[in-house]
């Protein structure tokens, strides 16, 4: 069976653009002051964790709130939707593999996928997507994460990543950067 794992944020959508450019107003229901909210918002935008993240429920709450808003506001890439629909029609098993905390974000994630007509068979959380793919014998991964790009060869997983500034100097061997999902379609057709 043909199986592919695909990330969501910054792969199927414009999550980081939304995070950087959206005005997230302070809400009096937040369990922090407006100043602390502004500090935490900047930390979330910079992908910084609070040094006591596990022990700081205020920061966790603000981060989850902002992430949840981004999940809802992020726009799906039209070429990604077309690619996933082609995969389904071509008989691929589609695994959505995300680092989102699905304990808190499963419903909005499934809703976003459905609202954007993105077909999939399974939805999993995986911090290390390469290990996930290797363990489940998944040969193909579409993911923007630098770790996946840098270590694709070590795991023997074909990684396709949307080229972004953070990928400068990355990609060789089993990792290939793309600007349009039609390139990924062509590459997997050549290999199957």
pLDDT tens string 118-156: 999 999 999 999 999 999 999 999 999 989 999 999 999
Render pLDDT for 51-98 as a digit per residue (tens, 0 to 9). 655 568 888 889 999 999 999 999 999 999 999 999 999 999 999 999
pLDDT at res. 151: 92
Residue written as tokens 């809703």?
A: 111
SS3 93: strand
- All structural domains of the chain, each given as residue ranges with its CATH number in brackets, are 3-13+76-191 (3.40.50.1000), 15-73 (no CATH)
- Which tokens belong to 35? 């100043």
Long-range contacts of 175-179 (CB under 8 A, 24+ apart): 175/148, 175/149, 175/150, 177/149
Beta strands in 11-134 (DSSP E): 93-98, 122-125
């Amino acid at each position: 069976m043909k199986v592919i794992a695909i990330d969501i944020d910054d792969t199927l959508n414009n999550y980081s653009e939304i995070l950087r450019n959206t005005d997230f107003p302070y809400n009096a229901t937040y369990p922090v002051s407006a100043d602390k909210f502004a500090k935490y918002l900047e930390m979330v935008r910079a992908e910084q964790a609070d040094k006591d993240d596990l022990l700081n429920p205020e920061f966790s709450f603000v981060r989850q709130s902002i992430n949840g808003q981004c999940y809802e506001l992020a726009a799906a890439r039209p070429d990604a939707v077309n690619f996933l629909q082609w995969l389904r029609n071509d008989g691929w098993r589609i695994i959505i593999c995300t680092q989102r905390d699905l304990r808190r974000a499963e419903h909005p994630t499934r809703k976003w996928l459905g609202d954007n007509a993105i077909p999939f068979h399974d939805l999993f959380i995986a911090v290390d997507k390469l290990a996930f793919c290797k363990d489940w014998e998944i040969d193909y991964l579409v993911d923007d994460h630098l770790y996946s790009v840098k270590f694709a060869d070590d795991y023997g997983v074909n990684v396709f990543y949307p080229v972004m500034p953070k990928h400068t100097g990355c990609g060789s061997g089993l990792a290939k950067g793309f600007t349009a999902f039609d390139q990924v379609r062509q590459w997997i057709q050549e290999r199957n």
